[in-house]
Structure 1
Amino acid sequence: MLMYADGFGIRPVLREMARELAGHGYYVLVPNFFYRHGPAPVIELPEHIGEEVRPAVMAQLMPLIEAHTAERVLRDADAYLRFLTTQPEVGAGPVAVTGYCIGGLLAMRTAAAHPGQVAAVAAFHGPVGADGPDLFSKLTAQVHLGHAEGDMTPEALGELNQALDAAGVSYTSEIYPGTVHGFTVSDTDAFSASGLQRHWDRLLPLLDRTLANS
């Protein structure tokens, strides 16, 4: 499994989520996709990223996010998948990709660029429609999209799902009730325990369907 962090990058909460997946038998790679700017964490992060510090943190991170072009994303994804699939502990067969916030878009781009290799992709509170329907048309993976209620109106969800239908994608796409952007990560004010649990309830069966028998 390839797991893309949110814009805050690799930190204890992401390691905890990766360990949870590893506990279900998956080999999980969590890359520092800001590696061009230094080791993770690339900026100093507080233990809890509350609303009072979030603007200052985002001001430091946005130039890094903007510098992470689609070309860089795809070049890096090639390297991540090549590394992941050549580890001696990793079984033969397809991989899954998951991502959070901006990592959700990176996960979708990775899945679209590697249709023969990525069997499942899941994105949570991510801007998954940013690249438009052209990206969806390249997907062969099974897809789950978990949207924050604060990010997505029912009307916007309907339009997104229509685009997925038109592209012939096998997917589930839903708004998680009572959630705001960033609901999966417990070190921010956005965290929702019920949202995180719903995320596991959707992600683990997707992985079981697509990877368990590989």
Structure 2
Amino acid sequence: MTAVQGTDVDITTEDGTTDAYLAHPADGLPHPGVLLYQDAFGIRPRLKSMADRLAGAGYTVLLPNVFYRSGRTPVVELPEFIDPSADPTIWQRLMPIMMSLTPELSDRDSGAYLDWLAESPLVADGPVGITGYCMGARLAMRTAAAFPDRVAAAGGFHGGRMVTDDADSPHLLAGRVTAELYFGFADQDQSMTEDQIRIFQEALDAAGVRNTCEIYRGAAHGYTQADTTSYSAAADERHWAALLDLLKRAF
């Protein structure tokens, strides 16, 4: 693995300033850009370590605090090991913040993140890759649809609510996507049933989107997050193999 440098950066958006974590190979040269979208628990050591691992594979990785309107990191104080069943107040504190990030706001923000990557001397010219976790999988899909000419590939892992009855359901955006997509769904995830997974993949296929949708058997929502009770080491390593293969094809 390549030596990695990590720094904290600020990004100007239409609505304020996002704090973010930037990880990149320590050689200081431009590398393909990857936008890493957080899960609901936000920027913390686990996500930074994931950004570092991606950077070690040869990418410049931007991890923005998508909840910046509610404060800088940490937006919500969390224990080192997250167990919502032991502390129900975690979701009580997070849910209003999550709900406040509307599709309109997230699309506006994603443009700012892509602009920042495009202007960075550490990022190679051309479209970027995206990876997103839990709610970040929805953001990955939305960004790929909102900026099709700027996204080469997007991965989403243990994403929930990718198919809803809402007019802005992520699966309805398939026709706008030109990137290659990969989604790894957890089979033990009430927020994304197998019927919903089928509908999601049918929408991608009907739109002619290059895609792979896989179900990770025995995995729970949040299977990549080693600092939570949902973690699965086997599913996590499967996710890394799939993500790195996706990015290798794109770049």
* TM-score computed with the length of structure 2 as normaliser: 0.81
Note the alpha carbon deviations across 1:130-157, whole angstroms, 9 max, x for none: 4154311111000000001112444433
- Whether 1:99 aligns to 2:139 is no
Q: Residue 142 of structure 2 contacts residue 170 of structure 2 at CA under 8 Å; is this kept in 1?
A: no
Q: Corresponding residue for 1:183?
A: 223
Cα distance, 1:132–1:117 mapped onto 2, change above 3 Å:
closer
Q: CA RMSD in A?
A: 1.2
Task: Name which of 28, 31, 50 aligns with 2:61.
Answer: 28
Q: Which amino acid aligns with 2:116?
A: F
Aligned-partner SS, 2:219: coil
Of residues 166, 178, 183, the one that matches 1:140 is: 178
Q: Name the one with the larger strand percent.
A: 2
1:164 aligns with 2:198: no
Task: Flag the structure with more relative contact order, 1 or 2, with Cα contacts below 8 A and sequence separation at least 6.
Answer: 1
Q: Give the partner amino acid of 1:164.
A: L
Is the counterpart of residue 129 in structure 1 residue 163 in structure 2?
Answer: yes
Unaligned runs of 5+ in 2: 1-33
Task: For structure 1, list consecutive stretches of 5 or more residues without a partner in the other structure.
Answer: none
Distance 1:54 1:208 in 2: 40
Mapped pair 1:64 → 2:64:
no
Q: How does 1:112-123 map to 2 (within 5 A)?
A: 112-123=145-156
Contact 1:84 1:90 in 2 (8 A): yes
Is the 1:133–1:167 Cα contact (8 Å) retained in structure 2? Answer: no
What is the aligned residue count? 211
Q: Deviations over 1:75-107 (max 9, x none)?
A: 100100000111111111110111000111011
TM-score, scaled relative to structure 1: 0.95
Q: 1:16 aligns with which of 30, 49, 64?
A: 49
Percent identity at matched positions? Answer: 49
Distance 1:43 1:133, change over 3 A: closer
Q: For the Cα contact (< 8 Å) 2:137–2:159, is it kept in 1? A: yes
Instruction: Tell me the residue number matched to 2:8.
Output: none
Partners of 1:202 and 1:47 lie apart in 2 by: 27
Partners of 2:170 and 2:142 lie apart in 1 by 11
